[in-house]
Copies of this chain bind each other. A is one copy, B any other.
């Protein structure tokens, strides 16, 4: 830190530039920060609609569109979605009812376009919400997304039918509830990074995703894991990897 300060002292660095160089931890107000975070990490902030009223959700979404050009709303029911649409009549609204996501974008907003792809596989229909949330984040980050649905471990054939798609992706997100074994099976078949996304299905002893998250942490193959139902985190982590790959492709292009 001393060298930066001395550079400011001898005039070789302006205070503003110094602040930028130290900007990892320099913010003046909370509002300014969110834009900075999007800029630095490229991960769109999510507005969690669950537990908020439609009005509160819409207000936050409008603020997000104003400051960063778009809003990503997760765990949104119909009332949340309609309130967002009403509050932003000029925005492009993209709602995925199964994933319970709403994306509102200012007309002028341009998404990044990454030369990298992510496959998202699910074990069953009840994994669709978490997987869809991951897909929404990934699309906003600019990655190409391939969906592979209902390839549970009790039906190996379904997994194997999609082997090409899985192997061609740069990263794979695998959502699974119950015993959560699908990420292990997939990670045994591909040579790319796999992110396990446990889902809160299951019941009785070990239900609500507990068996799934423990099973993925115990996996006998190589994968990393996010929390139960953390579709946003899984998607964003896959997006960071995809962007690293895309940046490498671009750098050399």
Selecting from A91-99, A101-109, A177-185, the interface stretch reads A177-185
In the complex, are the beta carbons of B225 and A226 less than 8 A apart? yes
B5:A192 contact, CB within 8 angstroms: no
Contact A153 B220 (CB under 8 A): yes
* A6:B1 contact, CB within 8 angstroms: no
User: A199 CA to B210 CA in the complex, in Å?
Assistant: 18
A184 touches B154 (CB 8 A): yes
CB nearest to A166 among chain B residues: B24
CB pair A240 B25 closer than 8 Å: no
Residues of B within 8 A of A237 (CB): 193, 222-224
Check B19 against A15 for contact (C-beta < 8 Å).
Answer: no
The reply on A88 being an interface residue by CB < 8 A is: no
Complex CA gap A253/B249 in Å reads: 9
Cβ-based interface call for A112 (8 A)? no
| Contact yes or no, B244 A155, CB < 8 A | no
With contacts A40-B191, A178-B219, A233-B224 known, is A244 near B213, CB below 8 A? Answer: no
Annotate A182-215 by CB proximity to B: 1 below 8 A, 0 otherwise: 0011011111110100101011111101111111
Q: Is the CB of A248 within 8 A of B241?
A: no
Say whether, besides A193-B241, A205-B217, A19 and B5 are in contact (CB < 8 Å): yes
Whether a CB of chain B sits under 8 angstroms from the CB of A63 is no
Chain B residues, CB < 8 A from A79: none
Residues of A at the B interface (CB closer than 8 Å) are 1-2, 5-6, 8-9, 11, 14-16, 18-19, 22-28, 30, 33, 37, 40-43, 116, 123-124, 150, 152-161, 163, 167, 170-171, 178-181, 184-185, 187-193, 195, 198, 200, 202-207, 209-230, 233-234, 236-237, 240-241, 244-246, 248-253
